[in-house]
């Protein structure tokens, strides 16, 4: 029987709210079994970019990463955000180790090809080194990945944290019974953005198409759901979307994604 593994991606609004972050890290540290944390930090990177006089460029909600923006991302994601999270997890007796995809060659990506838009130093995940990650997990370490990968030839790449979480979950499902959690500030996927409790408790592929047609699910929720179904179709056991309370042992109000 495969051992259980939880992979949790934490949203930027939780990272920026110190009280929510503390509550999340406390719950995460008490989560039973093997676990991996994935985080971004785009809002913090935008803030520090402004301080340095570096403009943030976005196209259709996606960040353009030129050389200067990549420097900021590395400093903020792999440095400031990652190491603060790791230090705070240590305070909860959770033996975390902070990583980018370059560390232990864990996540290799390719620079996104230029089609209509040149996204710059943005990476699309190609390979997840399951052996390295499994070695860390089995040594009772808790990997904490920031949203950076590498191309194997010395170049770091900015990579979407939702995608990293999904691809790591898919790769690790070969060895572990894997559950993927997308943890953000809402209680789940909402039927109405005006009603915080209008959580859709279960979404499958058929209902997802209807929700999109009705424009109930749109914008930033679409990539999360697309990554969720991609993971389930690649043998990830379970995918859940919700707020930090989703990690409580008897949690009931969150969205479960099924095929």
Structural domains of the chain, count:
1
Cα–Cα separations (whole angstroms), residue 236 to 13, 16, 71, 153, 167: 26, 29, 33, 30, 10
**217 within domain boundaries:** no
Q: Note whether residue 35 is domain-resident.
A: yes
Residue 61: per-residue pLDDT: 66
In a domain, 32, yes or no: yes
Question: Is residue 205 assigned to a domain?
Answer: no
> In the prediction, which pLDDT does 60 show?
66
The pLDDT of residue 16 is 93
CATH number for the domain including 53? 3.40.1160.10
Domain-located, residue 137: yes
Range of the domain at 142: 4-186+239-244
Q: What is the pLDDT of residue 196?
A: 92
Identify the segments of the chain with pLDDT beneath 70.
Answer: 60-61
With respect to residue 216, please indicate whether it lies within any of the assigned structural domains.
Answer: no
Residue bearing tokens 């979950």: 169
pTM over 0.75: yes
The answer as to whether 249 is a domain residue is: no
- 82 lies in some domain: yes
């Amino acid at each position: 029987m495969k051992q259980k593994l939880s992979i949790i991606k934490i949203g930027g609004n939780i990272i920026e709210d110190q009280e929510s972050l503390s509550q999340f890290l406390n719950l995460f540290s008490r989560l039973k079994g093997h676990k991996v944390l994935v985080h971004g930090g785009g809002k913090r990177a935008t803030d520090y970019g402004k301080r340095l006089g570096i403009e943030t460029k976005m196209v259709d909600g996606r960040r353009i990463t030129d050389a200067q923006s990549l420097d900021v991302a590395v400093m903020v994601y792999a440095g400031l955000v990652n190491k603060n999270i790791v230090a705070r997890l240590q305070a909860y007796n959770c033996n975390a180790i902070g990583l980018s995809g370059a560390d232990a060659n864990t996540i290799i990506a390719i620079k996104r090809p230029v089609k209509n838009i040149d996204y710059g130093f943005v990476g699309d995940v190609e390979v997840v080194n399951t052996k390295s990650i499994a070695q860390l997990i089995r040594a009772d370490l808790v990997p904490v990945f920031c949203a950076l990968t590498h191309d194997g030839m010395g170049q770091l790449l900015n990579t979407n944290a939702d995608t990293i979480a999904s691809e790591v979950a898919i790769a690790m499902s070969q060895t572990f019974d894997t559950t993927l959690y997308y943890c953000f500030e809402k209680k789940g996927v909402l039927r109405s953005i005006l009603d915080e409790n209008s959580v859709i408790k279960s979404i499958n592929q058929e209902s997802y198409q209807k929700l999109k047609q009705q424009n109930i699910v749109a914008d930033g929720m679409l990539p999360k759901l697309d990554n969720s179904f991609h993971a389930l179709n690649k043998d990830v056991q379970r995918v859940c979307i919700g707020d930090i309370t989703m990690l409580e042992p008897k949690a009931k109000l969150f969205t479960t994604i099924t095929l």
